[in-house]
Amino acid sequence: MIRAARRLSVRRALAIHALSTLLVAIGVAAVSSALSAALAVDAARESAARVADTVAHAVAAPLAAIDVSSPGPEMRTQALGELQAFFDADVIERVKIWKVEGDEAVVLFSDEARVEGERRPFDAELAARLDAGEVVVLDVPDDWEHRFEIAHGGLVEAFIGFTDAAGSTMRLELYMPSVQPDMLRDMLAVTLPPVIIGPILLGAATLPLALRLARRLDERDAERRALLHTALAASDHERQRLAALLHDGVIQDLASAGLLLERIGSTAHAPDADRAALLTQVSGLLDADLAELRSLLSRLAPPQFEGSLVVALYDLAADLETSRTRIDVQIGSSTSADAEVETLIYRVARELVRNAVEHAAPASVTIAVDGDGDEVVCSVADDGRGFDPAAPAPDGHFGLRLVRQAITDSGGTIDIVSQAGDTAGTTVTVRLPRRMIASALAG
């Protein structure tokens, strides 16, 4: 089931990676297409202006030899004859010759006879540009005046002024095919393949990294779930152990103390030495039980870190020290760190000392804290039984795993020096950054 879950996680990562790559490719292609279209429009207008300038002068030259101001069948035949070569070469699609009459311009000639005689309002701005000798190129408007040209599609109109054979000022309007679609197609043919293939190649190149990241996150999540299950199981185990300890230790000792007190009461006439021996035995049992209860209280509700790290470590040593184990504290001259880091150091030290006292049976434990550049170093050393740091922790022993997880999550490192069966003890060294906000151990 775990393998199936991992396969599902990998497939999900692949799907997300593929979708991300596709979206990036589509986005880049859309932006590239929009930029290409804008560039194509500008380039097409520049090209149309150059072509229109050449064509307009070429078309206007023979028309200048015709008396366009006197329209009729003869003039129309003569004009069409001069323009036919341009139509046959698809250089122009439509021609209109305008004459300004007052505040209007009237069409005197067009290859589309239906528009001859139509009028439009006089455009002073256009007239000024034409009088200055400019060839004006515009997009064809979608209106009634250009109803016949719009049907052709993809045209631009070019205006040029000229003087006919009778000396009249005329306005020549030419409709020519736009090169914009061709330029846009050519631009997209050049730009689209790289911008589409680029993100796809990038996605393919980063696919192994995405898979490794997905597997690593999946393993990290599995470790956290396992740690949670272990912690829950250890909690049940600890409650059972405490119940057994109370039943087989403290309760039995208190029952024995009660029996001894009854014997003292029944030996009122016994020698004082015998009574004193019984009282000493009762006192020893009560002292041992009191120490055991204090130890249980510390494990069930350990003191919390508040204020000074130095004071808290000395209090911790006094609280966990027993008649069999001495606990020393060594504080260096440079231990300052962020409050979150000091809190984590205290909790790590508490967990390591408690593990040593409970599982290694040491005669002494030393807590040492000092600074090393941008790091704070905390070590806990004991002279008790050693263990194999690489071996899986026994059931119910999860404190060291919690310490390791908390240190790793906080950007620190942990080093364990020990050996199974060795009587030289164990040394655990933890290094944490002074200024990094750390996630603390629970409890």
Sheet strands (E) in 40-135: 94-101, 104-110, 119-121
Give the integer Cα–Cα distance in Å for 200 and 27: 12
Give the integer Cα–Cα distance in Å for 195 and 84: 45
Q: Considering only CA atoms, which of 338, 134, 105, 38 is closest in space to residue 346? A: 338
As a whole-number percent, the residues of the chain with pLDDT over 70 amount to: 64
Q: Considering only CA atoms, which of 47, 38, 42, 32 is closest in space to residue 190? A: 32
pLDDT of residue 61: 86
Yes or no: say if 441 and 406 are a contact pair by the CB < 8 Å rule.
yes
More confident residue, 379 or 56: 379
User: From residue 91, how far is each of 82, 105, 282 by CA, in Å?
Assistant: 13, 25, 123
- Band of pLDDT at residue 440, cut at 50, 70 and 90: very low
Is the pLDDT assigned to residue 436 strictly greater than 90?
no
Q: Considering only CA atoms, which of 273, 99, 84, 244 is closest in space to residue 172? A: 99
| Span of 23-27, 117-121, 264-268 with lowest mean pLDDT | 264-268
Is the pLDDT assigned to residue 427 strictly greater than 90?
yes
Q: At what angle do helices 180-245 and 399-409 cross, to 10 degrees?
A: 150
Yes or no: say if 288 and 253 are a contact pair by the CB < 8 Å rule.
yes
pLDDT of residue 179: 60
Give the integer Cα–Cα distance in Å for 15 and 9: 10
Q: Specify the amino acid at residue 289.
A: D
Long-range contacts made by residues 132-141, C-beta under 8 angstroms, separation at least 24?
133/161, 135/49, 135/52, 135/53, 135/56, 135/57, 135/159, 135/160, 136/160, 137/45, 137/48, 137/49, 137/52, 140/175
pLDDT of residue 378: 94
DSSP 24-44: HHHHHHHHHHHHHHHHHHHHH
Domains 66-177 and 304-433 share a fold: no
The CATH number, out of the four listed (3.30.70.1280, 3.30.565.10, 1.10.10.370, 3.40.50.1820), of the domain defined by the range 304-433? 3.30.565.10
Question: Domain map of the chain by residue range?
Answer: 1-63+181-251, 66-177, 304-433
Convert the pLDDT of each residue in 370-423 to its tens digit. 999 899 999 999 999 888 887 776 655 556 777 888 888 888 899 999 888 767
pLDDT of residue 439: 40
Give the integer Cα–Cα distance in Å for 353 and 366: 9
Which pTM does this prediction carry? 0.42
pLDDT of residue 402: 76
Backbone angles phi, psi at 30, to 5 degrees: -65, -45
| Span of 31-40, 148-157, 292-301 with lowest mean pLDDT | 292-301
Is the pLDDT assigned to residue 307 strictly greater than 80?
no
Q: Name the fold adopted by 66-177.
A: Beta-Lactamase (3.30.450)
Most confident region among 256-270, 283-297, 362-376, 391-405 by mean pLDDT: 362-376
Is the pLDDT assigned to residue 163 strictly greater than 50?
yes
Give the integer Cα–Cα distance in Å for 266 and 268: 6
pLDDT of residue 130: 87
More confident residue, 185 or 102: 102
Tokens coding 261: 């007190």
Helices (H), 102-170: 124-131, 147-150
Is the pLDDT assigned to residue 268 strictly greater than 80?
no
pLDDT of residue 393: 65
pLDDT of residue 437: 46
Convert the pLDDT of each residue in 93-144 to its tens digit. 899 999 998 889 999 999 999 999 999 998 889 889 888 888 888 888 888 8
pLDDT of residue 10: 62
Helices (H), 132-179: 147-150
Is the pLDDT assigned to residue 430 strictly greater than 90?
yes
